[in-house]
Chain A
């Protein structure tokens, strides 16, 4: 018997050749609470998913109780005693608490009264205040989480993994959650949890592991850490030899105030958010998951569905606007370039030229009824040349292109609309290195042309390399502003975590 209930040795997971975790060593001791921290995309989620059998490792070994295992499905992981509580609930909302608890374990004939009694006894033994006959959809976030935890305990998990457990909880619920976790620990369960809230990690965990850029940085006892040391470990990159090595030495001056957001509210993601965007410069917006950056700008561009006008004001060139759909925002010169191009970025069965032409049509020429084949061809060709899209011809379908070229098509479709405010949401996500350089050059060119450019990014070096002005968002609002001349990774990260 070893001291470690769960261990990874040189664990690597590649997604289409790109490592999400790279030779990561990780040990979970029996009965400890272990926090995983790191930036977005540092590999925390992939590591926990590998533990829970959601993804399988490309190389490296996983050991449970000293024995080598390779769970291929969550069910296999559950049989090994590993349970995971996901960020998105994995409960069936229309079933009752008791039915959810016993889901997948039903006997052929399943007496409801029987499982209600069993569930009642079981929940009481855990001291959970949840009614077994309640429908899960009607429960609050904290109670849903309790049901998930109860299910993991019921499956006799000896390791329970939490992905951002406190993100949706109120302060009182958080306190209760901490007690629950400590109670589980007393029962001999080992806990792994991902957190963006460093205070929580410091207060709750016995040990902390920091990941950065898919690699393991440091693991140590929580009492040996403080906030500064964690931040150092999270951001301490050596960038001198990379794409992001050059730091800005001058910043563009602010032009006209193009977009002003005042006290914008959209529960629960955006809370009294206020910010301004100026023409002729790049405004970088940094924040961790759940900071409300994307939502804020989606509201401004009319992209967010179901914006029930929770409050606040949006001004474009000083005039109040509020878009319910993107079409009028596009006509007024706001372009939102999505972070999720497969879902809302391009028309996959159409050619590059048709994609660009549809962007053009949606804004110009007003009132025209007939299409112009010549205009479609020429606009397509000119944008392919300007953005250096590598494809066999303008007739190539977008779905057949590489990620970087697809992203360029999405950008071309918006730039064909000649926008005055361009909002890039994670402009280089899933894009190869060569295309990243080209997209960055393009973003700089847009600002030089006098457009107001917003770059939302979770990757600090990208923010630092591009921005003239940096806004840091935390828990639904912008909390800090830096000039890019005096910003450092440490300062920004310090402002972004809570």
Chain B
């Protein structure tokens, strides 16, 4: 079993390498510095979201509401600044909203024991609907003069590298540190590996589950800020897109088992690079939007099937809310 798991990561890395080399050889204009930077910049928001999803999936949960938290709190920042609030005030309100949302999700899942899939499905719908109905005047919240300077987060460059790439790298380091070197990180793996054992051992399982969803909401909100500042607006209808599937694709493809307790930041990076290369290559080849969806769908299916072969679940590890 240990062998086969190594080989799954190996398979994904192999696919990535083959695809990358093929694109370098056959696609003119793929392997240029400019295109490489574009590729990374395009997937950095997806990668940051992947980190949020990874934390939750390692803890044996799932968070479908990530896109809502990507859209609504950052949208609120733009809206409040447009309406005359100061930027720091708007940011604090948005962060508070994200934390409150994470606590709400976590409480429902850990204490009320509602399966994570249904909780986050419903709460995501609620948050997105609440934003569109009560907070935003238009579907696309526009940049306003009060936001001056903030677009640096999405459009700036440091030593020639676009800032979203640097932000993604920093987020990776931070999450890796949290998961590998801190006590909450060790507890998240423990809860994901076996929640019953974690409980009997004396690990505060329910607060750890709440923490997972708060972290996911905060990281999701942060990804939203990066996204908004790179396009100078927040298209809140993004909640209705298929972006959440891309996030799951990144995590599962990278090799983080949906049964919990396995994988880490490296897997998110591998998944993100593979998806980034695939999407970039298809864009250069001018594959249509629906064609791209078809390819993504097939790849996700293969990844999920491979996951259930490599990380098999049995009656002991399967549980309510497990997907």
Residues of chain A touching chain B, judged by Cβ–Cβ distance below 8 Å, are 303, 325-327, 329-331, 336, 338, 342-350, 354, 357-359, 361-363, 368-371, 397, 399-400, 413-414, 417
Contact = CB atoms under 8 A, between A and B. Distances in A.
Contacts of A342: 316
Contacts of B206: 325
Contacts of A336: 200
B237 interface: no
Interface string B194-207: 10111111111110
A345 B181 contact: no
Given A348-B193, A350-B193, A370-B181, A331 B199 contact: no
A427 to B, nearest CB: 15
A361 B196 contact: no
Nearest to B202: A330
Contacts of B181: 370-371
A325 B201 CA distance: 10
Contact of B261 (A330, A349, A413): A349
A415 to B, nearest CB: 12
Contacts of A369: 182-184
Given A325-B206, A326-B199, 11 more contacts: A326-B201, A327-B199, A342-B316, A346-B197, A347-B189, A349-B262, A358-B186, A358-B190, A359-B202, A362-B203, A399-B1
Contacts, number: 85
B305 interface: no
A358 B203 contact: yes
**What is the predominant secondary structure among interface residues of chain A facing chain B?**
helix
Interface in B52-73: none
Contacts of B134: none
A488 to B, nearest CB: 35
Contacts of A414: 201
Contacts of B25: none
Contacts of A331: 202
Given A344-B197, A349-B261, A361 B204 contact: no
Contact of B190 (A325, A330, A347, A363): A347
B183 A330 contact: no
A234 to B, nearest CB: 33
Nearest to A338: B200
Contacts of B205: 325
Nearest to B197: A344
A326 B182 contact: no
B183 A368 contact: yes
Contacts of A346: 194, 197
Most chain A CB atoms below 10 A, which of B185, B198, B206: B198
30 contacts: A325-B205, A326-B202, A327-B204, A330-B202, A338-B200, A344-B199, A344-B200, A345-B200, A347-B189, A347-B197, A347-B261, A349-B193, A350-B189, A354-B186, A358-B186, A358-B187, A358-B190, A359-B201, A359-B202, A361-B187, A362-B201, A363-B202, A369-B182, A369-B184, A371-B181, A371-B182, A371-B185, A371-B186, A397-B2, A399-B1
Nearest to A329: B202
A446 to B, nearest CB: 18
B200 A303 contact: yes
Nearest to A399: B1
A64 B144 CA distance: 87
Contacts of B261: 347, 349-350
A337 B102 CA distance: 34
A329 B183 CA distance: 20
Contacts of B203: 327, 358, 361-362
Interface in B19-35: none
Contacts of A347: 189-190, 193-194, 197-198, 261
Contacts of A325: 199, 204-206
A333 to B, nearest CB: 11
B201 A330 contact: yes
B242 to A, nearest CB: 32
B105 to A, nearest CB: 20
Contact of B201 (A348, A358, A397): A358
B183 A370 contact: yes
A228 B307 CA distance: 58
Nearest to B262: A349
A69 B201 CA distance: 48
